[in-house]
Structure 1
């Protein structure tokens, strides 16, 4: 479907469709909490909070959708918001009842997807609108990246089961009592800092392998195929890469005996910094760019320029790249003009074709790929 010109696009209609769809998904979560909601994530928010958020979403979807229809702007999109909100109300709305939640070894985590998407959009869309390069949230291929966002959040329970099973098995074979005792004797805040460094080093080493080993590059090329950098683009990661990276990062932390509180704090940091590093937020952070991985630092890793294909692998600490010899910052104030793999046609469009691509044809690592 051809995108509407900026002058004809109605933000009221788009927001109504977004809120209506999220509200309907929220009601479905209430109907099937055992299968669709994450046990761990339910411990973070209350039922009252979820109901109030659902009610606010329903009211806003109806009001904004109706206003857009009355103004004659994007009527079809606005109608999606009104209809999905109406379906949400007809199936229970914010007063939907549910039975006692039993315990299952897995769930789809749909509640994590809905709430995470809502607050990520609430924070980053305005930030990118006012502090980023001129770019609409409905830029080309946003549907593909939204599908990846959905996949990574909804399937998180299954990924964690695979990772936990593998890391616990290896942890039982590789024990370091002396080192474990020293780490566990540290205060939690110090364990957290050490965990960030160890995990970032492990991820950066694997990240570099993704760029230099042809077999691994087949999967990682999917992440680099995005032509636009924003908070949603960071979700474009092949499922195989998600499992490999999570295993490589969590394994050292579990084997070395880091406290669960330190590991949980690291997981929260990963979620925040992964989104922030890809965000379309063009702020000059000055000397902080030497201490933390911020948007400009990571954007240059995604630039469509052969001079940068082996630079800036860290996701948290530029110190890791300094130790690896892969640290590089451009002149102050400069940003990439084009993103994506060097040879654009090597990666197809669409989440399904991109997931099948690594198994269908070999791709040379980026250092061997001529620029188109």
Structure 2
């Protein structure tokens, strides 16, 4: 263990962060999501993803909107009456009110026409809603480390969450649109035929393995090559591991990783349904792997990447800075010789780059830092 490890921020119930009203900020979140949901209802061709629409029904979307509006009103009103954090509470109530005035859950729309692109805003709204709904209570009850829900830099990571979810949609659209061109350069027709002959569920499992192998090799390059580390260090700058921490990824890294992973899947001939399912899995597992969960999963930790496995990759400890690159399957690290997991009772003492002060705060400054900062 190193002597210069920076200890984690201590939980202080008397701090300004601790005194923030969870109800007020939840109301603000739901109010903003309601407004984004209204945009999806009014302009489904532009703001909703065709692939993701197939995963839910119109009634589900309307009921979810209704629940969100009621919760935003109720939480915001209660927070205002209690006198805490009135600004975010007013944002929540105001956003929900505007969403209702714009039609709310009663908006009618015609059959959705096919468009060359869409923003995928529905994927962001639904994934953020359910991620917060599931992981915030679980982390408070089963968290390995006691820390604030509204911990330092949570706004920065929410901004990253928004950027990364929408950007992945654009990358997927661009690659899917150029499938014919990319496949034209493929020199593996036998492999393509073999993969396309498999059922979609089997293609999905193979896609997870090949994609994880590709991203793990690229991930290791991020750690080994200084010019790539400048971008990847942003991801390792967070000193708090929770469901939001995995979203902190530099735009350049998102582009390199998603293109480097998705193009091989297209070249190998995987069905669009299998590729889309993999993209959804990436979003879900990125949240899970970084979550603050102290659950002991036993032998499952050797089959699937779970929180403790990936937490050690973020540890401020040199012995773990070149291990556990996989994001889906520990088998990939075993094949690469980079698998390392201590006994089940062991968790990292602190997270983040060795000198956190070398990375600025805020999404804008962090995006500029690799180009102008001294590392």
Q: TM-score, normalised by structure 2?
A: 0.89
Partner of 1:66: 77
Given candidates 26, 29, 32, the residue that maps to 1:18 is 29
Secondary structure of 1:108's partner?
coil
Structure 1 position 261 matched with structure 2 position 270: no
Alignment deviations for residues 196-218 of structure 1 (CA, whole Å, 9 cap, x no partner)? 22111111111000101111111
Contact 2:72–2:93 (CA<8 Å) still a contact in 1? yes
Contact 1:29–1:111 (CA<8 Å) still a contact in 2? yes
Contact 1:197–1:317 (CA<8 Å) still a contact in 2? yes
Alignment deviations for residues 313-333 of structure 1 (CA, whole Å, 9 cap, x no partner)? 011111111111111112321
Alignment deviations for residues 299-340 of structure 1 (CA, whole Å, 9 cap, x no partner)? 000111222111110111111111111111123211112111
Secondary structure of 2:260's partner?
helix
Structure 1 position 86 matched with structure 2 position 97: yes
CA distance in 2, matches of 1:293, 1:360: 34
Contact 1:163–1:246 (CA<8 Å) still a contact in 2? no
Aligned length: 361
Partner of 2:294: 282
Q: Which moved more, 1:26-35 or 1:62-71?
A: 26-35
Deviation at 1:29, TM superposition (A): 2.6
Deviation at 1:127, TM superposition (A): 1.1
Partner of 2:124: 113
Partner of 2:348: 336
- Structure 2 gaps of 5+ residues are 1-13
Q: Report matched runs for 1:204-243 at 5 Å.
A: 204-243=216-255
Give the 3 Å change call, closer, same or farther, for CA 304–36 of structure 1 in structure 2. Answer: same
Contact 2:186–2:268 (CA<8 Å) still a contact in 1? no
Deviation at 1:5, TM superposition (A): 4.8
Contact 1:10–1:68 (CA<8 Å) still a contact in 2? yes
Given candidates 6, 16, 31, the residue that maps to 2:42 is 31
Deviation at 1:14, TM superposition (A): 2.3
CA distance in 1, matches of 2:53, 2:125: 13
CA distance in 2, matches of 1:86, 1:201: 47
CA distance in 1, matches of 2:98, 2:242: 32
Give the 3 Å change call, closer, same or farther, for CA 3–160 of structure 1 in structure 2. Answer: farther
- Structure 1 gaps of 5+ residues are 364-372
Deviation at 1:166, TM superposition (A): 6.5
**Root-mean-square deviation over aligned CA pairs:** 2.2
Given candidates 302, 315, 325, the residue that maps to 1:303 is 315
Secondary structure of 1:15's partner?
helix
Given candidates 156, 160, 166, the residue that maps to 1:148 is 160
Partner of 1:321: 333
Contact 2:183–2:269 (CA<8 Å) still a contact in 1? no
Partner of 2:141: 130
Higher relative contact order (CA closer than 8 Å, sequence separation 6+)? 2
CA distance in 2, matches of 1:57, 1:265: 26
Structure 1 position 171 matched with structure 2 position 183: yes
Alignment deviations for residues 267-293 of structure 1 (CA, whole Å, 9 cap, x no partner)? 332222111111111111112111111
CA distance in 1, matches of 2:69, 2:303: 42
Q: Which moved more, 1:294-303 or 1:88-97?
A: 88-97
CA distance in 1, matches of 2:61, 2:153: 30
Given candidates 162, 179, 194, the residue that maps to 1:182 is 194
Deviation at 1:33, TM superposition (A): 2.8
